[in-house]
Amino acid sequence: MADGLLRPEQVAQKLGMSLSWVYGHKHEIGFIQFGSAVRFDQEEVEEYAQQCRRGPQHKEDRVWDSQFHNGKTEARGSCAPQSTVAVLSELFARKEKQDSMR
């Protein structure tokens, strides 16, 4: 396991982010703390990077993500379902129709 542990500086370099960013996001990435020493499991860092990956999306299929959405919070059931552009457009259209009837 020691081979798979990374120091915050190594995580920052691996992700191309600043050291302060790594410390600020350590709860999202997942970390191990030995006293005051913080270490990151290499597999969890790579998994976090994959979760952050975004590919091309068609306009109708876009999903509105918040920074709160990630696999760990969704597994605990604390995330609201994500909405697509099409669903949001339909909700706004219904709201406008209701408002115009008043």
Distance CA 58, CA 41 (A): 34
**pLDDT band (50, 70, 90) for residue 37:** very high
**pLDDT band (50, 70, 90) for residue 40:** very high
Owning domain of residue 9: 1-53
Q: Could you give the number of structural domains in the chain?
A: 2
The pairing of strands 5-6 and 37-41 is antiparallel
65 in the same domain as 34: no
Greatest mean pLDDT among 9-18, 53-62, 71-80, 81-90 lies in 9-18
67 in the same domain as 89: yes
| Percent of the chain at pLDDT exceeding 70 | 72
Among 12, 35, 53, the domain boundary falls at 53
48 in the same domain as 1: yes
**pLDDT band (50, 70, 90) for residue 47:** very high
49 in the same domain as 1: yes
49 in the same domain as 11: yes
Distance CA 60, CA 18 (A): 35
